[in-house]
Amino acid sequence: MAHVLRNRVDEVGPRNILPEPRINSIHEVDISLRGIYEVSKILTAPTRLEITIANVVNTLSSFVQMRHGTIVVLDAKMEPEITATADSSYPLQSGVGRVIPQAAIDQIVATGAPLVIPDVSKSDLFQADFQPSASGGTIPIAFIGIPVKAEHEILGTLSIDRVVDGETSPPCDEDVRFLTMVANLVGRTIRLHHILSMDRQRFIEEQRRPEKWLDEERTDPARHRHVKIDGIIGESPTLKQVLETVEVVARTNSTVLLRGESGTGKEFFAQAIHKLSPRGKKAFVKLNCAALSESVLESELFGHEKGAFTGAISQRAGRFELANGGTLLLDEIGEISPAFQAKLLRVLQEGELERVGGTRTLQVDVRLICATNKDLETAVVKGEFRADLYYRINVVPIILPPLRERAGDIPRLANAFLDRFNKENHRELAFAPSALDLISQCYFPGNVRELENCVQRTATLARSRTITPSDFACKNSQCLSSLLWKGPDRSHGGNAIDELSQRDTMQVRRIGASEGEVSPVKVVHPNDPACAAMGPHLTERDRLTDAMEKAGWVQAKAARILGLTPRQVGYALRRHGIEVKKF
């Protein structure tokens, strides 16, 4: 609704309120300067826009002859948003009303030029608003309308009208020039208020966004959208929890430490954090720290100057420089030497570095993501990893679930890998339902990477368009995973995160779980007869039914047997239509 403010000048008589007739040009210049000065003081006062506009209109009567004046501020749709008026005590029984006609406003806005009408009674723009006096005569009323502009954009109009009766002069060029200067000052003030208002609103929204998101999570967690990220496939609860955490973390510049077994897709999750962050349009740079020696790693990360060492034939920017403003992924961070850890710590703390062989200090702004499958806590205790660097990179740890804990995701991933194989090799292969049931039971110690290799190998050797269980290596006792992990005293590659899986039952607190909440997970080792690669091949339904019977149809016990959560077991029972027996 438009704001309408009216201010009336003190009652001092109908004619005496008007300035005395101007005597000479020096006097006219003096009045204009004083008028601009007074208007400028009003416009710079710390008041609301409506009050500022009203004060400007009210002070105009001290510097120009006027019966009443109006400033109309228009909104984005060119409709009146603020209307401020100031009236003298001159009788209003004839002539135009206090608010100028919309037709006059439209013409001023359309032309972007001053509108001067010596007698409004003879103008079509004022016919609907013009009313003759009670005596039947008319008193000539002049009108001056000026567009209010800022940066060539019309923001409103400024107008006055005056009675012309012989003692007052018709509109003159001096009045038009003075009002034009006032209108330009008013326009800049309006624009400044609009900019400040938008900035204030944007700041309020940014402050409320995290609070609003948390409120939505508290009231209805299911409403929070599931993030879809290229390269990450799955609908399991554990994966969704990680993706929701990724979305929250991506909004900040906090350092992230991705932890998980080999093949769980740490690089994909790092790219997801980068793409969802404000740095998404900047560079994403990655480096595998385990693949390089200390000297080469220093050159790769910090860069080098020409002649810094043998073979340095030109200056080269390091990965930190290349990632400036973006994101840097340091994979296998746990494998760097203690000596290099100190050099890396300085860059992370100060945001400064020098190229190898150089003396100039470079400033970098990089969002760091680290990845490892090593037990950094044990490495810190043994003195193999600096404690200060550990605390620097372990700001937001995210544990990626192994494939065996992502119930239901194996068939989705297998189909995605097979579709990619078909496109690359111009094939039309498909999985039989029994084939998907078979690989759903596999341990996959190599996680998603091993599953992809398994699908490609099977698709390559498949003899028909439909892949059946007999096409898989595990069905023919040729499973590479089972051979790799067959030794009873074989460790899991020295990866401490995977060493947890050697226990019959482990307590892993999921990312996104409430404080103290744990999910019991029983890991089936390939040496276990229950492993799909070593024992008889049961369907998912058969395994579920067998576990429920062993547990006396108690879902919590069956979940421990299967290495699932009770919620996942309940979902699987409903999906397979298995009726729970009650005793």
Measured between alpha carbons, how far is 270 from 380 in angstroms, rounded to an integer?
24
The Cα-based distances of 12 to 15, 17, 543 in angstroms read 8, 6, 100
Nearest to 158 by CA among 129, 135, 137, 178: 178
pLDDT of residue 170: 63
Greater pLDDT, 258 or 32: 258
The Cα-based distances of 318 to 12, 232, 322 in angstroms read 80, 29, 6
**324, 364 Cβ separation under 8 angstroms:** yes
pLDDT of residue 505: 32
pLDDT of residue 517: 37
Measured between alpha carbons, how far is 547 from 554 in angstroms, rounded to an integer?
9
Tens-digit pLDDT profile for residues 349-402? 888 888 888 888 888 899 999 999 988 998 999 889 999 999 999 999 999 999
Quickly name the fold that domain 3-195 has. Beta-Lactamase (3.30.450)
Q: What is the torsional sign of CA 404, 410, 416, 422?
A: positive
CATH 1.10.8.60 location in the chain:
404-537
CATH for the stretch 404-537:
1.10.8.60
The Cα-based distances of 202 to 63, 213, 214, 227, 383 in angstroms read 40, 16, 19, 25, 48
pLDDT class of 549 with cuts at 50, 70, 90: confident
Greater pLDDT, 166 or 344: 344
CATH 3.30.450.40 location in the chain:
3-195
Measured between alpha carbons, how far is 554 from 581 in angstroms, rounded to an integer?
9
Nearest to 326 by CA among 277, 286, 366, 287: 366
What integer best gives the mean pLDDT of the chain? Answer: 77
**187, 150 Cβ separation under 8 angstroms:** yes
Measured between alpha carbons, how far is 348 from 356 in angstroms, rounded to an integer?
17
DSSP per position, 331-378: ETGGGS-HHHHHHHHHHHHHSEE--BT----EE---EEEEEE-S-HHH
Measured between alpha carbons, how far is 412 from 20 in angstroms, rounded to an integer?
89
Name the packing angle between helices 433-440 and 409-425 (round to 10°): 120
Is the pLDDT at 21 greater than 80? The verdict is no
CATH for the stretch 237-401:
3.40.50.300
Greater pLDDT, 290 or 226: 290
**444, 451 Cβ separation under 8 angstroms:** yes
Measured between alpha carbons, how far is 403 from 411 in angstroms, rounded to an integer?
11
User: What is the rounded average pLDDT of the residues 337-359?
Assistant: 86
Nearest to 112 by CA among 52, 187, 43, 39: 187
**555, 574 Cβ separation under 8 angstroms:** no
**269, 232 Cβ separation under 8 angstroms:** yes
Name the packing angle between helices 566-575 and 540-550 (round to 10°): 120
Q: Which amino acid is at 121?
A: S
The residue ranges of DSSP E strands in 273-326, in sequence order, are 284-288, 303-304, 316-317
What global pTM score does this model have? 0.49
Determine the 3-state secondary structure of 279 from DSSP.
coil
Q: Which of 418-427, 478-487, 531-540 has the highest mean pLDDT?
A: 418-427
**What 8-state DSSP symbol labels residue 429?**
-
* Burial environment of residue 293 by CB neighbours within 10 A (0 to 12, 13 to 18, 19 or more): exposed
Nearest to 83 by CA among 53, 110, 59: 53
Least confident of 62-66, 166-170, 248-252, 267-271: 166-170
Alpha helices by DSSP H, listed for 409-471, are 409-425, 433-440, 447-461
| Main-chain dihedrals φ then ψ at residue 396, nearest 5 degrees | -125, 95
* Burial environment of residue 135 by CB neighbours within 10 A (0 to 12, 13 to 18, 19 or more): exposed
CATH 3.40.50.300 location in the chain:
237-401
**What 8-state DSSP symbol labels residue 479?**
-
pLDDT of residue 246: 92
